[in-house]
Amino acid sequence: MKICRVCNSKEIRDSFTLKNFPSSAQGWTKSEIEAKVLKEDINIFECKQCGLVQITNKPVKYYKEVIRSSAYSEDMKFQRLRQFTLLKKLYIKANKIRALEIGTGVGEYMSICKELNWETFGIEGSIENIKKSLEKEKIINGFVGESNTEELKLKLFKLVDKEKINFCYCLNFIEHWPNPIRSLKEIKKLISNDAICLFEVPNFNMIKENNLYSEFIPDHLSYFTINSFSYLINSAGYEIIKIENFYNDYIISCYCKPKNESDLKNLNNKYNSEKEMISKSITQLNNNIFFWGAGHQALAYLSMIGSNKNIKVIDSAIFKQGNFCPGSGYKIHDPKILEEVDNGELIISCGGYNKEVLKIAKNLIKGDFNFYYIVNGELRRIE
Ligand SMILES: [Zn+2]
């Protein structure tokens, strides 16, 4: 039974097999005989639910380790420096960057961070790689996502406080993971709640468009498009800031941050702090109060103000005139009634149309009026 490694759906499509492909991307041997047996069929399918293209092959032996040759490229180094500099400028306010790299390899990208004067800590599955790294004392041995997070936390937080890790990156490694959702969820426990994350994978959109079947290799268990990668990142509890192609379209770069408490809490707090204020500030006005607007926001404010105030509601939509506001019960009048009034107060609550309505109102009104918008639960006088 084939099951999607990201969304667990059993509904699959387009499955096919590549026969006798190399059994790993790193399996060079010293003899021809040894080399010839290192082949296997690659079984590919697409999940109908989340769209992830994936293979059913077992992970390669070294899937917890990062082996890179791309980092030796001068062009890659140049592009990374540019990318990291821009990222800091756009997304990270703190002066000092303390980064966590998931899968450091031999520390190629840690050196780039060092050039930028950033401090980097890392996690790497291969002890050999760590030994070769220039900053081995800042790398802990391990792999995130296999019920060892507590142990990783202990080791990592001895080197740096969780709250201080304001950037986390993982470059071309997620596609090797047997359970990417689980690993990404565990990463959140290692970084500060508002850390910026950069997660990158090879771009399967590009592979698909060019029918590059030779890109399939047992090392890569998942083949992400912009859509299926976004699905993964969201499902693992991150909020995407930006997702784009990088490095001649070979890579998908996803800038994101851990999704924390629901933002709805802020809305509720604002509602609670403002609901008394609106009503009070209306009471402070003199008579002849006119309220321009019977759209959904205006109706909400009128309900909060309550039905017992001396207010005339007006709206330019003819189909609303003569009817009553749901919630508060005020009758809606034609704005023309303003022409006959000598003096009064006009509150405009028309959202994006406020300025336009103010202009219309000033043309209509001959008498002596004060004008207001509702801003942060209070009436703000417009001069
Ligand atoms: Zn799926």
For 34-62, the pLDDT digits (tens) are: 898 899 999 999 999 999 999 999 999 99
Which pTM does this prediction carry?
0.75
| Ligand 1 centroid to residue 203 C-alpha, Å | 17
The answer to whether residues 236 and 293 belong to one domain is no
Tokens (6 digits) for 96: 């000092």
Tokens (6 digits) for 258: 């851990």
Question: Tens of pLDDT along 59-86?
Answer: 999 999 998 876 668 898 999 999 999 9
Structural domain count of the chain:
2
The answer to whether residues 252 and 322 belong to one domain is no
Instruction: Report d(CA 197, CA 324) in Å as an integer.
Output: 51
Q: What is the dihedral of CA 275, 278, 280, 284, to 10 degrees?
A: 180
| Ligand 1 centroid to residue 4 C-alpha, Å | 5
Tokens (6 digits) for 266: 């802020």
User: What is the CATH classification number for the domain harbouring 352?
Assistant: 3.40.50.720
The answer to whether residues 61 and 132 belong to one domain is yes
What single DSSP character describes residue 228?
A: H
Residue 34 inside a domain? The answer is no
Residue 336 inside a domain? The answer is yes
The answer to whether residues 231 and 321 belong to one domain is no
The answer to whether residues 142 and 224 belong to one domain is yes
| Ligand 1 centroid to residue 9 C-alpha, Å | 5
The answer to whether residues 203 and 60 belong to one domain is yes
Question: Tens of pLDDT along 83-92?
Answer: 999 999 999 9
Q: Which domain holds residue 126?
A: 42-258
| Ligand 1 centroid to residue 197 C-alpha, Å | 23
Question: 153-157, 223-227, 274-278: which has the minimum mean pLDDT?
Answer: 274-278
Res. 198: pLDDT tops 90: yes
Cβ distance 357 to 292 under 8 Å?
yes
| Ligand 1 centroid to residue 52 C-alpha, Å | 6
| Ligand 1 centroid to residue 187 C-alpha, Å | 21
| Ligand 1 centroid to residue 6 C-alpha, Å | 5
The answer to whether residues 338 and 192 belong to one domain is no
Q: How many helices (H) and strands (E) does the chain have?
A: 11, 17
| Ligand 1 centroid to residue 357 C-alpha, Å | 49
Which burial class, exposed, middle or buried, applies to 78 when counting CB atoms under 10 A from its CB (0-12, 13-18, 19+)?
exposed
| Ligand 1 centroid to residue 50 C-alpha, Å | 4
| Ligand 1 centroid to residue 353 C-alpha, Å | 43
| Ligand 1 centroid to residue 227 C-alpha, Å | 11
Average pLDDT, the chain: 93
Q: Give the model's pLDDT for residue 203.
A: 97
Instruction: Report d(CA 313, CA 1) in Å as an integer.
Output: 64
Res. 322: pLDDT tops 80: yes
Q: What is the dihedral of CA 53, 59, 62, 64, to 10 degrees?
A: 70
Q: Give the model's pLDDT for residue 286.
A: 75
The answer to whether residues 144 and 293 belong to one domain is no
Residue 165 inside a domain? The answer is yes
Question: Tens of pLDDT along 248-293?
Answer: 999 999 999 999 767 788 888 888 888 888 888 888 887 789 999 9
| Ligand 1 centroid to residue 249 C-alpha, Å | 24
Task: State mean pLDDT over 321-336.
Answer: 95
| Ligand 1 centroid to residue 12 C-alpha, Å | 8
Q: Give the model's pLDDT for residue 275.
A: 83
Question: How big is the CA angle at 232 (ends 230 and 236), to the nearest 5 degrees?
Answer: 120
Residue 303 inside a domain? The answer is yes
Cβ distance 175 to 220 under 8 Å?
yes
The answer to whether residues 287 and 253 belong to one domain is no
| Ligand 1 centroid to residue 179 C-alpha, Å | 12
Question: Tens of pLDDT along 338-381?
Answer: 999 999 999 999 988 999 999 999 999 999 999 999 887 788 99
| Ligand 1 centroid to residue 193 C-alpha, Å | 27
| Ligand 1 centroid to residue 181 C-alpha, Å | 11
Instruction: Report d(CA 71, CA 79) in Å as an integer.
Output: 11
Helix, strand, coil percent values for the chain (each to nearest 5) = 35, 25, 40
| Ligand 1 centroid to residue 67 C-alpha, Å | 27
Residue 4 inside a domain? The answer is no
Instruction: Report d(CA 136, CA 124) in Å as an integer.
Output: 10
Res. 204: pLDDT tops 80: yes
Residue 264 inside a domain? The answer is no
| Ligand 1 centroid to residue 54 C-alpha, Å | 9
| Ligand 1 centroid to residue 231 C-alpha, Å | 9
The answer to whether residues 238 and 120 belong to one domain is yes
Which residues surround the ion ligand 1 when the cut-off is CB under 5 Å? 4, 6-7, 9, 47, 49-50, 52
Q: Give the model's pLDDT for residue 358.
A: 95
Rg (CA), the chain: 30
| Ligand 1 centroid to residue 248 C-alpha, Å | 27
Residue 111 inside a domain? The answer is yes
Distances (CA, A) of 249 to 192, 204, 224, 225, 314: 30, 10, 13, 11, 55
| Ligand 1 centroid to residue 101 C-alpha, Å | 27
User: What is the CATH classification number for the domain harbouring 224?
Assistant: 3.40.50.150
Residue 23 inside a domain? The answer is no
The answer to whether residues 102 and 162 belong to one domain is yes
The answer to whether residues 119 and 236 belong to one domain is yes
| Ligand 1 centroid to residue 205 C-alpha, Å | 17
